[in-house]
Structure 1
Amino acid sequence: MIRKHPLTEEFPEFEEKILELKVDNEYFKNLFDSYDELDHEIYRIESDSEPASDETINQLRIKRLHLKDEIYQFLKDN
């Protein structure tokens, strides 16, 4: 099933903190926006709205995973 991966669903235990940090922390907001844009790009490719090679989609998924890891670490530490 093709779907988006919003951070509030990926980290439901941090939902309130995510919403708070998006407003109060510029660094987190940039991370969040980058993740959101990347997730949307992956979704467009997976739903065949935008063509891309398998290598490209795999690289984007890896990048999303790294961003997600960085965001999780930030949420844990702050």
Structure 2
Amino acid sequence: MLGEKHLLSTEFPEYSAVIQDLKSTDPEFMGMSKRYHQLDHKIRGLELNKVPTTDEHFGTLKLERAELKDKLYRILVSKGH
């Protein structure tokens, strides 16, 4: 859906406590989650405000967000069990 928020806590509600813990104790996780949030915010802004951008640029942003989400998920799974 256009403009849908993809917050980590919404995407992975079963890991909410782990997400909060890692954001405060793991600098690498914190940096990656901050970048993920920035990308999500930028993508939503482009979608909702219909800001002109190339398909390539938009696709690059979405791909980076998806790759970060996968990396963050792998960390959550390894720390959450």
Asked if TM exceeds 0.5, the reply is yes
1:50 aligns with 2:43: no
Q: Identify unmatched segments of 5+ residues in structure 1.
A: none
- One-letter amino acid of the structure 2 residue matched with residue 71 of structure 1: L
Superposed, 1:27-42 pairs within 5 Å as: 27-42=28-43
Normalised by the length of structure 2, the TM-score is 0.88
In 2, Cα distance between the equivalents of 1:23 and 1:51? 36
Root mean square deviation, CA, Å: 1.2
Q: Equivalent pairs: percent with the same residue?
A: 36
Count residues with an aligned counterpart.
78
Match of 2:38, SS state, is helix
Return structure 1 stretches of 4+ with deviation > 3 angstroms.
none
In 2, Cα distance between the equivalents of 1:16 and 1:29? 14
Q: Identify unmatched segments of 5+ residues in structure 2.
A: none
In 1, Cα distance between the equivalents of 2:11 and 2:27? 21
